[in-house]
Chain A
Amino acid sequence: MIKVDGLTFHAGGFRVREVSLDIAKGEYFVLLGPNGSGKTLLIKCLCGLIRSAAGSIVIDGEDVTHLKPRLRNIGYVPQDYRLFPHMDVARNVTFALRMHGMSHRHALEEIAPLVEMLRLRPLLDRSPIGLSGGEHQKVALARALALRPKLLLLDEPVSALDDPTRRDVCAELRRVQREFQIATIHVCHSFEEAVMVSDRAGVMFNGRLVQTGTVHTLLRQPSNETVARLLHVENIFSGRATHLDGGNSRIDFAGHRITISQRCEGDIRFVVRPELLRVSPQGAAGADCIQAELLRIDDLGSYARRELEAGVRIVAYTNPDTISRRFQMGRRYAVEFPPDAIHVLSE
């Protein structure tokens, strides 16, 4: 169990403030956020390369906040892997064990299962120079895991890889992480990557951890507009809410009126999930519908993205097969807003 409580620190002119986070044993946590949000600094602080000004880091009941990096038992895979170029792959992987007094030969025996698991055997005698990106990544992972750490920190571990390799490596990371049952924090700024590997995710912005939850929670119920925009949530609108009887509310926005099954009052910002919007020539009877003009359709492979204009720009996702046959650009269609498609932002 990893417990980070109120962690605050400075690095250069940047300040990371009051980060609190619990990660269970064997949990895969993805830390999302834009460049410069403090993700990498947080990772460095967790592994002891940056001193904390306040707060605590507790790993399995032991407070490691003020311990030196070598005593924290944390595995760290940096963004560019940083294999030691003057050592072959075997010496890279056995480095931590050798630094703990083990001979190279014994260390090789110790890491044999890890080498098999990551299929590194053919690479052991090779120099890191000339390894592919995926091979670099696996060697760096093996090096970080050699000491069987209690927490594994992966700083953008697949950002340098091409798409197919990235998917393969993400699957590999998940497999190895499950095998080791090791608490893992994986930093990235790709939501797709988070979907592939995470049990839970968090969003950092401007030095703060602003929301944590499953990736689906983050996507469907972002806590605020910042999170919504970071996750590229479409359909963020402003409106005025009026509380109705029975726990429902009415929202007036851009000259339209819809009903949601939430209690809210006053000026609000809300998001509408594009995949739950229904677009049809007439609209279903009794549903909250908005008449909108179809501006464009983009076939994105697994889904089609439709953009409509109704005083505000509305985006709807749908099955790509049927779109081009049934819809014409420039015509007006009914856009149906199911109440569960709408989420009011809290801040």
Chain B
Amino acid sequence: MTDDSNGATAIAGPRVNLLSVVTIGFMAVFIIGVLVLLLTGLSYTDYQSIAEVLGSKPIRAAFRLSAVTSAATLGLVVVFAVPVGYALSRYRFPGHVVADTIVDLPIVLPPLVIGVSLLGFFKTPLGQFIESPRGLNLQFVYTTRGIILCQFLVSASYGIRAAKAAFDGVDRRLEDLALTLGCTRMQAFRKVALPLARNGIVAGAIMAWARAVGVFGPLMIFAGAVRMKTEVMPTTIFLELSIGRVEVAIAVAIAMLTMAAIALILIHSLAPGRRWWGV
């Protein structure tokens, strides 16, 4: 076995054997399936539609809003996922199992339910206090802030789950040892646990971001689909489809996929020793 810089291992020895043929074969089938889907989509559009998408001010605004809100959501997810994942991994407290389960709930909830629940919450006295100019004066319903909140609630669980798994994989005795070498608990976390869990946290953040970019249902309910205001790329696709412009909707989807692919390659290549072409 040989180690790469991520700590993952590559199997030494002859590359062509039953195991490699079977596993790489499955991978090829999956990748071909995704590519066929993309190419089929491409066949429904044309250069004119792509040019229209690139030149359309509202669509460019939706593109920009998707990039900004998903980046903000990514930041929020990391801010929450690291401490929550660490707490779930390291501490045992009454209600640990319940907390662990609740963290997973947004994954299994239909996203629409999150949108409906948010709308309901902001009708409660607490929600109204948050939005009211006499309270916190933080508007969420039908605002960019609302988009970020929806994206965060739908995607945070992925980040937290991955961060917990990453911290589970770090031997806590390394942190204990760091205490004997002059660290406080916080320093042991920063200098030992966090760097060792980094790859898992990054993987979780990628999943969370990918999920956030694609959020649609709860946004329609909670943030609406107001052109140039709360329209993000998934809502653009829906709006274009709803007026029968399939080729434009697909062109938007291709633009969205391209943005996602570039972002994913960038994030993957951030891992030490990795290059975008994957060697």
Please list the residues of chain A having a beta carbon within 8 angstroms of any beta carbon in chain B.
Answer: 47-49, 68-70, 72, 74-76, 78, 82, 84-86, 95-96, 99-100, 129, 143-144, 147
Contact across chains for B180 and A49 when beta carbons are under 8 A apart: yes
Across the interface, do A143 and B195 meet the contact criterion of CB distance under 8 Å? no
Q: Mark B166-185, 1 if CB is under 8 A from A, else 0.
A: 00000101101111111110
Asked whether B274 is an interface residue with its Cβ less than 8 Å from the other chain, the reply is: no
> B3, A70: Cβ atoms under 8 Å?
no
- Of A69, A72, A82, A143, the most chain B CB neighbours within 10 A belong to A69
- Contact partners of B171 in chain A: CB under 8 A: 82
**A147 engages B3 (CB within 8 Å):** no
State A82–B171 Cα separation when bound (angstroms): 9
Would you call A70 and B179 a contact (CB within 8 A)? yes
Q: Does B196 contact A (CB under 8 A)?
A: yes
Question: What is the CA–CA distance of A76 and B192 in the complex, to the nearest angstrom?
Answer: 17
- Asked whether B132 is an interface residue with its Cβ less than 8 Å from the other chain, the reply is no
In angstroms, how far is the closest chain B Cβ from the Cβ of A77? 9
| A-B contact list, 11 entries, CB within 8 Å | A47-B180, A69-B179, A82-B177, A84-B178, A85-B196, A95-B178, A95-B191, A99-B182, A99-B191, A100-B182, A129-B3
- Asked if residues A95 and B174 are in contact (CB atoms below 8 Å), the reply is no
List the 7 shortest-distance A-B pairs measured between CB atoms, nearest first.
Answer: A99-B182, A96-B181, A69-B179, A76-B180, A69-B180, A70-B182, A86-B195
How many angstroms from the CA of A23 to the CA of B20 in the assembled complex?
59
Task: State A119–B254 Cα separation when bound (angstroms).
Answer: 59
In the complex, whether B269 has a CB less than 8 A from a CB of chain A is: no
Q: B187 near A: Cβ within 8 Å?
A: yes
Q: Which residues of A contact B177 (CB under 8 A)?
A: 76, 78, 82
Beyond A82-B171, A99-B191, A129-B3, is A143–B181 a contact (Cβ under 8 Å)?
yes
Cβ–Cβ contact A99 & B173, under 8 A: no
Q: In the bound complex, how far is the Cα of B7 from the Cα of A78, in angstroms?
A: 23
Residues from chain A with Cβ under 8 Å of B181 in the complex: 70, 95-96, 99, 143-144, 147
Residues of A contacting B191 in the complex (Cβ-Cβ under 8 angstroms): 95, 99
The answer to whether B195 and A70 touch across the interface, beta carbons within 8 angstroms, is no
Q: Smallest distance from the beta carbon of B220 to chain A beta carbons, Å? A: 44
Q: Are B173 and A82 in contact, CB atoms less than 8 angstroms apart?
A: yes
Residues of B within 8 Å of A143, CB to CB, are: 181
Q: Could you say which of B3, B184, B191, B196 has the most chain A C-beta atoms within 10 Å of its C-beta?
A: B191
User: Chain B residue with minimal CB distance to A44?
Assistant: B176
Tell me the smallest distance from the CB of B129 to a CB of chain A, in Å.
Answer: 42
Q: Please tell me if the beta carbons of A84 and B174 are within 8 angstroms of each other in the complex.
A: yes
A72 to B173, CA, bound (A): 18
Residues of A within 8 A of B176 (CB): 49, 69
Closest residue of chain B to A96 (Cβ to Cβ) is: B181
Contact A68 B179 (CB under 8 A): yes
* Most chain A CB atoms below 10 A, which of B182, B184, B192: B182
* Complex Cα spacing A141 to B117, Å: 57
Q: How far is the CB of B272 from chain A (nearest CB, A)?
A: 10
Docked pose: A231 CA to B229 CA in angstroms: 81
Q: Measured between C-beta atoms, what is the minimum distance from B169 to chain A in Å? A: 11
Taking a contact as CB atoms under 8 Å apart, the answer to whether A70 and B180 are in contact is yes
